[in-house]
């Protein structure tokens, strides 16, 4: 039996682009159909009411019709507008960064339900978090793990020795940690402090409750940011574009924030 | 054995150039190219001339960044306009739309885009610096953010608010809510809650 012409799915909208005269090409992430690119035709016309239901970061129930080129969204109903993420520049910039991570680490038509659940969890966390950078560090590591790119944090990838509790090496090229001796042989390896190693391990474990209780000193937060900036392009092949906006927004934050 | 590619040099090149335009894929480009093959000679020549002339004579207004043939543009030079207000829009077409509404008598500024982090469009890619320079002389009392109520439009409005409010200039945002002729039943919850927040006393 052929697949039904119309199918339903829940989805979170990651991004959109213009399509034709009044349409949008949506990149969406779904629980069971993976990442999809679908078209919302005519959504920009004044008579259309769909635009608000398929806005970026909105979680919606979609009715989609199969088509020869892009499948077409025929109906959309908001399940959760996540508007709290959109009314605050600091939260919005992190949410867009997280959405870009999903876009870059997921494959079209490749189901990854745990990743979808984690994505939802992190978006909700971003709404209530005080330190907004912990959720994004958490999600980076969790998504790497759930996408098959889990970084090594316990063993030297070169000599296979268990790491001592000391500053060690962290290498994007190698895929994780190196002991200090082997790190000398990797030109790009960075030194990762004991505190940062502990935080990375905690976040990678996926223990959300403990992660939410973390209070990171500014220096550790900055160190982790630098490590992930270095690490992620080895997996995503390019820098994450929304990272630049995140920096710009952080720079406008009133001091003490 | 070579296969027949079907397309000669100039035709292939025209199709290639047309498919660079937004919303025009290879099929549309082919259709347009073959259409142009059949139209009268001077129609095709007029099209080519209109394109080159537009590019040659259009420029950005040094003040508001709108598309104009003279810099500063006629709008910026109009002394009848209120120069204490600047309405910031994303695109020249937005400026046109607002001017058609005829309610506003202040000045404009065109950003030529909105902040779109995932596409790599940040404040530096937009005409933000030019806007900040206009505010240096003092005199401007209000900045009206007229970007679309999308995530990118909001990001732009919020970011510019961050930059400009510390200068002591009032930053306002266009009212968002239900368009005329809309149906409450189909409206999304964000639109509805904003419409509710922005409610006004009824005056008869």
Find the CATH number of the domain harbouring A20. Answer: 2.40.50.140
For residues A57 and A123, the answer to whether their CB atoms sit within 8 Å is yes
Same domain assignment for residues B78 and B169: yes
For residues B25 and B31, the answer to whether their CB atoms sit within 8 Å is no
Residue A10 lies in a domain: yes
Same domain assignment for residues A116 and A63: no
Residue B106 lies in a domain: yes
Cα–Cα dist A206/A135, whole Å: 11
Residue A151 has pLDDT above 70, yes or no: yes
Residue A1 lies in a domain: no
For residues A74 and A8, the answer to whether their CB atoms sit within 8 Å is no
Long-range contact set of residues B124-130: C-beta below 8 Å, sequence gap at least 24: B126/B156, B127/B65, B128/B160, B128/B163, B130/B65
**Are A92 and B159 an interchain contact pair (Cβ–Cβ within 8 Å)?**
no
Same domain assignment for residues A71 and A100: no
Cα–Cα dist B204/B191, whole Å: 25
Whole-model pTM?
0.87
Same domain assignment for residues A121 and A173: yes
Cα–Cα dist B183/B181, whole Å: 7
For residues A163 and A155, the answer to whether their CB atoms sit within 8 Å is yes
Domain that holds residue B39: 15-44
Q: B66 vs chain A: nearest CA distance in angstroms?
A: 22
Residue A242 lies in a domain: yes
For residues A9 and A64, the answer to whether their CB atoms sit within 8 Å is yes
Same domain assignment for residues A93 and A217: yes
CATH number (domain holding residue B38): 1.10.8.420
Same domain assignment for residues A113 and A226: yes
Same domain assignment for residues B34 and B125: no
Q: A256 vs chain B: nearest CA distance in angstroms?
A: 16
Does any CB of chain A come closer than 8 Å to the CB of residue B93? Answer: no
Same domain assignment for residues A129 and A218: yes
Residue A80, classified by CB atoms within 10 Å of its CB into exposed (0-12), middle (13-18) or buried (19+), is middle
A49, A55, A241 ranked by CB distance to B118: nearest? A241
**Are A92 and B158 an interchain contact pair (Cβ–Cβ within 8 Å)?**
yes
What's the domain count of chain A?
2
Same domain assignment for residues B29 and B106: no
Cα–Cα dist B101/A2, whole Å: 51
H helix intervals, chain A:
83-86, 89-105, 113-128, 133-146, 180-183, 194-205, 208-213, 218-236, 242-251
Same domain assignment for residues B74 and B129: yes
Mean pLDDT of B20-30: 88
Domain end marker among A81, A102, A137: A81
Residue B90 lies in a domain: yes
Same domain assignment for residues B75 and B153: yes
Residue B178 lies in a domain: no
User: According to the model, what pLDDT value does residue B6 have?
Assistant: 63
Same domain assignment for residues A241 and A114: yes
Q: B115 vs chain A: nearest CA distance in angstroms?
A: 8
H helix intervals, B23-169:
26-38, 41-57, 74-77, 92-101, 128-135, 151-164
For residues A169 and A186, the answer to whether their CB atoms sit within 8 Å is yes
User: According to the model, what pLDDT value does residue A242 have?
Assistant: 94
Same domain assignment for residues B89 and B142: yes
Same domain assignment for residues A136 and A222: yes
Same domain assignment for residues B23 and B109: no
Supply A249's token pair: 């927004």
Same domain assignment for residues A143 and A246: yes
* Closest CA in chain A for residue B157: A89
Predicted confidence (pLDDT) per residue in B117-170, tens digit: 999 999 999 999 999 999 998 899 999 999 998 999 999 999 999 999 999 999
Contacts of B130 (CB under 8 A, 6+ apart): B65, B109
* Closest CA in chain B for residue A47: B182
Residue B3 lies in a domain: no
- 3-state SS class at B60: strand
Strands A6-19, A23-30: pairing is: antiparallel
Residues facing B116 on adjacent strands: B121
Same domain assignment for residues B72 and B118: yes
Q: The complex's ipTM?
A: 0.87
Residue B190 lies in a domain: no
Residue B121 lies in a domain: yes
Residue B23 lies in a domain: yes
- 3-state SS class at A162: strand
Please state, in angstroms and as integers, the Cα–Cα distance from residue A83 to each residue in A9, A87, A232, A257, B146, following that order.
21, 6, 28, 21, 19
For residues B88 and B66, the answer to whether their CB atoms sit within 8 Å is no
Same domain assignment for residues B22 and B86: no
Residue A162, classified by CB atoms within 10 Å of its CB into exposed (0-12), middle (13-18) or buried (19+), is exposed
- 3-state SS class at A108: strand
Same domain assignment for residues A202 and A240: yes
Instruction: Please tell me which residue, A257 or B197, carries the higher pLDDT value.
Output: B197
Domain that holds residue A105: 86-251
B120, B152, B183 ranked by CB distance to A49: nearest? B183
Residue B55 lies in a domain: no
Choice among B19-28, B98-107, B173-182 with the minimum mean pLDDT:
B173-182
Same domain assignment for residues B113 and B145: yes
Supply B91's token pair: 């695109």
pLDDT band (50, 70, 90) for residue A44: confident
* Closest CA in chain A for residue B25: A20
Residue A256 lies in a domain: no
Residue A111 lies in a domain: yes
Does any CB of chain B come closer than 8 Å to the CB of residue A56? Answer: yes
Which among A191, A115, A103, A179 has a CA at the least distance from the CA of A146? A115
Cα–Cα dist B83/A131, whole Å: 42
pLDDT band (50, 70, 90) for residue B1: very low
* Closest CA in chain B for residue A102: B118
* Residues on chain A touching B150 (C-beta within 8 angstroms): 51, 55-56
Q: For chain A, what is the mean pLDDT? A: 93
Question: Which residue of B151, B164, B193 is the best one to mutate when testing the A interface, meaning the one whose CB has the most A CBs within 10 A?
Answer: B151
Residue A256 has pLDDT above 50, yes or no: no
Please state, in angstroms and as integers, the Cα–Cα distance from residue B90 to each residue in A67, A250, B150, following that order.
33, 23, 12
Question: Which residue of B118, B123, B156, B198 is the best one to mutate when testing the A interface, meaning the one whose CB has the most A CBs within 10 A?
Answer: B118
pLDDT band (50, 70, 90) for residue A255: very low
CATH number (domain holding residue B71): 3.40.1360.10
Phi and psi, residue A249, nearest 5°: -70, -40
Domain end marker among A28, A55, A81: A81
Supply A96's token pair: 């867009």
* Residues on chain B touching A88 (C-beta within 8 angstroms): 158
User: According to the model, what pLDDT value does residue B177 have?
Assistant: 78
Residues facing B110 on adjacent strands: B89
Domain end marker among A54, A81, A108: A81
What's the domain count of chain B?
2
Same domain assignment for residues B74 and B150: yes
Same domain assignment for residues B168 and B76: yes
Same domain assignment for residues A108 and A76: no
Neighbouring CB atoms inside 10 A of A106's CB total: 23
CB hemisphere CA count around A257 (13 angstroms):
11
CATH number (domain holding residue A220): 1.20.1440.120
Predicted confidence (pLDDT) per residue in A196-212, tens digit: 999 999 999 999 999 99
Strands B82-89, B106-110: pairing is: parallel
């Amino acid at each position: 039996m052929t697949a039904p012409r119309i199918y339903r799915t829940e989805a979170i909208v990651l991004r959109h682009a213009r399509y034709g005269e009044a349409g949008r090409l949506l990149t969406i992430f779904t629980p069971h159909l993976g990442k999809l690119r679908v078209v919302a035709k005519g959504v920009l016309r004044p008579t259309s009411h769909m635009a608000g239901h398929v806005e970026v970061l909105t979680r919606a129930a979609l009715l989609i019709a199969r088509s020869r080129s892009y499948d077409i969204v025929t109906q959309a109903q908001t399940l959760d507008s996540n508007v709290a993420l959109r009314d605050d520049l600091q939260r919005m910039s992190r949410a867009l960064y997280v959405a870009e991570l999903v876009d870059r680490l997921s494959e079209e038509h490749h189901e990854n339900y745990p990743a979808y659940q984690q994505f939802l969890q992190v978006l909700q966390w971003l709404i209530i978090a005080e330190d907004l950078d912990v959720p994004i560090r958490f999600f980076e590591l969790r998504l790497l793990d759930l996408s098959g790119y889990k970084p090594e944090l316990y063993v030297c990838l070169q000599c296979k020795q268990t790491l001592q509790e000391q500053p060690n090496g962290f290498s994007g090229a190698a895929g994780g940690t190196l002991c200090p001796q082997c790190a000398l042989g990797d030109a790009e390896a960075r030194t990762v402090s004991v505190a940062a190693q502990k935080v990375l391990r905690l976040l990678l474990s996926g223990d959300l409750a403990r992660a939410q209780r973390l209070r990171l000193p500014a220096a550790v937060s900055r160190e982790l940011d630098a490590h992930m900036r270095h690490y992620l392009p080895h997996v995503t092949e390019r820098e994450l574009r929304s990272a630049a906006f995140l920096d710009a927004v952080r720079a406008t934050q009133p001091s003490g924030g | 054995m070579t296969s027949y590619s079907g397309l000669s040099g100039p035709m292939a090149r025209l199709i290639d150039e047309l498919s660079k335009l937004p919303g025009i894929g290879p099929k549309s480009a082919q259709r347009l190219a073959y259409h142009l093959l059949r139209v009268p000679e001077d129609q095709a020549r007029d099209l080519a001339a209109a394109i080159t002339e537009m590019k040659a004579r259009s420029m950005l207004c040094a003040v508001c960044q709108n598309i104009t043939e003279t810099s500063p543009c006629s709008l910026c030079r109009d002394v009848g306009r209120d120069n204490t207000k600047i309405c910031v829009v994303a695109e020249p077409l937005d400026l046109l739309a607002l001017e058609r509404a005829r309610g506003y008598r202040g000045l404009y500024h065109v950003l030529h885009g909105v902040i779109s982090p995932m596409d790599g469009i940040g404040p530096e890619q937009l005409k933000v610096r030019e806007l900040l320079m206009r505010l240096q002389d003092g005199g401007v009392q209000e900045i009206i953010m007229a970007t679309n109520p999308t995530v990118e439009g909001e990001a732009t409005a919020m970011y510019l608010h961050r930059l400009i409010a510390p200068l002591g200039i009032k930053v306002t945002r266009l009212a968002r809510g239900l368009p005329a002729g809309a149906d409450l039943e189909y409206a999304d919850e964000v639109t509805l809650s904003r419409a509710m927040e922005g409610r006004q006393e009824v005056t008869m």
